[in-house]
Chains A and B, each alone.
Chain A
Amino acid sequence: MTQAKLPAWAIRRISRRYEKLIQAALFLCAALSVLTTAAIILVLLTNAVYAPGAKTAFFERVSFWEFVTGTHWKPVDGQYGRFGIIPLLCGTMMVAGIASLVSVPAGLGAAIYMSEYAGPREREFLKPILEILAGIPSVVFGFFALKFITPWILKPMFSLVGIDLQIFNTLSAGIVVGIMVTPLIASLSEDVIRSVPRSLREAAFALGSTRFDVSVRIVVPAALSGILAAFLLAFSRAIGETMAVTIAGGQQAIATLNPLQGAQTMTGFMVHASTGDSAADSISRMSIYAVGIALFAITLTINVISGWVLRRYREVYQ
């Protein structure tokens, strides 16, 4: 049968080849993020675990055991340096923990306010403000912590009880990181809270609930899986946060859980070492990749857990 015999409605509008081209272009877009991830893992592994060629990888010089359990992080100590990740891990976990203490109540409270209490006018006002907060560069937050939160809020507060707060401290770093991830928790939680069916709220109101009863007893429990996933994502975001903690938290790698002291975080060390003047293949430079792997492993684990929580505890509404 030739083309000419086809009726008008049966003639192809776009060619088969053109459609294939579109498909390929879209596939490339999707593949880009996968390829990037693969490349990052490759770079980390070839520098930390096994280096092809003349270079020596980090774990070929420092034992994995020392790296994981060592309590001293001194890349330029004597000839070899000491590479125990515990001090950096302490710094990172303290910042992320303090950030969670700030952002979980603030973010969840904001989400509940926006979905259960605020009228359309308040919401129109609040949403853009939260988006602006999320758009502020983290270096600005770092200086905000260093130049405002520490000297103007924390120092006077602690001097009242006779404690002299250090200029660099993980408390202020944790607080600003908490402020930074609050919009993330607020918007993710609000999405899941809004997906709780209206009929459940009406049923609760019809039983003599106040707005607070409905929020706390019905809506939050029904949306719990999504809210937990939001917390975990925000926590992993806080772990990966770099500039603010480098500026406000200081550069001393000390194994401490005292938030009033300065402490270097994993990301803080990476910035510090990569801008330093050590040789490109020196062990202190190579240690960046080992810390990078550790960071990658932690955040990946948390993201996987949060995905699992979301699936496992999702309420099914008919």
Chain B
Amino acid sequence: MPAITSSSVPPSVAGVDRNLDMSAHPAAIQVNGLDFYYSEHQVLFNVSLTVPERSVTALIGPSGCGKSTFLRTLNRMNDLIEGSRCVGQILVEGQNIMDPAVDVVLLRKHVGMVFQKSTPFPKSIFDNVAYGPRVAGETNRSVLADLVESCLKKAALWDEVKDRLTKSAMALSGGQQQRLCIARTLATNPRIILMDEPASALDPASTDRIENLIGELCANYTIVIVTHNMQQASRVSHQTAFFYKGVLVETGPTMKIFTGPSEKKTEDYITGRFG
């Protein structure tokens, strides 16, 4: 009973080939046997996943399945949560980031993150983008100005804000704020970008822009994106991973997951039978 056909899957954004076998690509992130606990409550069970370099990996699954928690282990954001505990191995470019010797501050510059809610700092647009480099010690104004310009261009925001860089970022629209947050993340010069439902609070036109941006960015960055929206996952990702109740049920090329998943659970979720 083939419930899904490739014709029912929406077209992908430019820059993303969903049929590509990524297994030949070198791994940017390799997670082996990851368990995660909030106090005594276990939320991830023995998760193993490989994220190929310069690709987009979408994490999907119903609410509370652990996909966001998993994403936040990749830059050790969960360290900020009291009583959380993580067991297993997370290799970022070969280095186990759970090693106590790893400086979490440097790790987060290397592995950037964009959040569901756009979080511009109550500062000017310029100061928002320049925040990361300044924290890293950059003080030269012309270096900062060049960096701000190039990051805003990469985030497809430059033309809209170039005349009001000194104005407050709080005055931007929701979609612009989210692109500003992406520009701000790019400014720390990361290799990997984690996105936690980056478009879920945006209107369709802004969502479209963010999705196209992901297609452009994945030529140079490795992207892992959590999304509630399965259409979005199918449009922007090379690889899709399906989480259910803290377990990674299935992972594979996006086209295969959406047209011929191996697991019954995945098919039920994709076709909207639950979740």
Contact = CB atoms under 8 A, between A and B. Distances in A.
Given A206-B113, A207-B131, A207-B132, A199 B119 contact: yes
Interface in A182-219: 197, 199-210, 213, 217-218
A276 interface: no
Nearest to B119: A203
Looking at chain A's contact residues, the main secondary structure is: helix
B122 A222 contact: yes
Interface in A64-113: none
Interface residues of A, number: 22
A38 interface: no
B109 A208 contact: yes
Contacts of B132: 207-208
With a 10 A CB-CB cut-off, give which of B108, B135, B181, B184 has the most chain A CB atoms: B135
A207 B109 contact: yes
Nearest to A214: B135
Contacts of A203: 115, 119, 121, 181
A218 B82 contact: no
B122 A221 contact: yes
Given A202-B77, A213-B135, A207 B112 contact: yes
A208 B136 contact: yes
Contact of B108 (A200, A206, A222): A206
B184 A207 contact: yes
Given A119-B82, A203-B181, A213-B135, A208 B106 contact: yes
A199 B178 CA distance: 13
B241 to A, nearest CB: 21
Interface in A113-160: 119-120
Nearest to A213: B135
Contacts of A201: 80
B188 interface: yes
B188 A202 contact: no
B69 interface: no
A200 B185 contact: no
A316 interface: yes
Given A119-B82, A120-B82, A217-B135, A210 B117 contact: no
Nearest to B79: A205
A281 interface: no
A315 interface: yes
A202 B117 CA distance: 11
Contacts of A210: 105, 135
B131 A217 contact: yes
A76 to B, nearest CB: 57
Contacts of A217: 131, 134-135
Interface residues of B, number: 26
Interface string B121-135: 111000000011011
Contact of A204 (B109, B131, B136, B170): B131
Nearest to A210: B105
Interface in B78-96: 80, 82
A315 B105 contact: no
Contacts of A315: 122, 170
Contacts of A222: 121-122
A221 B121 CA distance: 10
A207 B135 contact: yes
Nearest to B132: A207
B222 interface: no
B12 interface: no
B115 A205 contact: no
B75 interface: yes
A210 B135 CA distance: 9
B134 to A, nearest CB: 8
A96 to B, nearest CB: 31
Contacts of B115: 199, 202-203, 206
Given A199-B119, A202-B119, A221-B123, A208 B108 contact: yes
Nearest to A223: B122
Interface in B151-210: 170, 181, 184-185, 188
Contact of B188 (A119, A120, A207): A207
Contacts of A119: 82
Contacts of B170: 315-316
Contact of B135 (A208, A221, A316): A208
Contacts of B112: 206-207
A213 B135 CA distance: 7
A261 B184 CA distance: 55
A316 B168 CA distance: 12
Please name the 4 residue pairs, one residue from A and one from B, whose CB atoms are nearest each other, closest first: A208-B109, A206-B113, A203-B119, A207-B132
Interface of B: 75, 77, 80, 82, 105-106, 108-109, 112-113, 115, 117, 119, 121-123, 131-132, 134-136, 170, 181, 184-185, 188
21 contacts: A197-B119, A199-B117, A201-B80, A202-B77, A202-B119, A205-B108, A206-B75, A206-B113, A206-B185, A207-B132, A209-B135, A210-B135, A213-B135, A217-B131, A217-B134, A217-B135, A218-B121, A221-B123, A222-B121, A315-B122, A316-B170
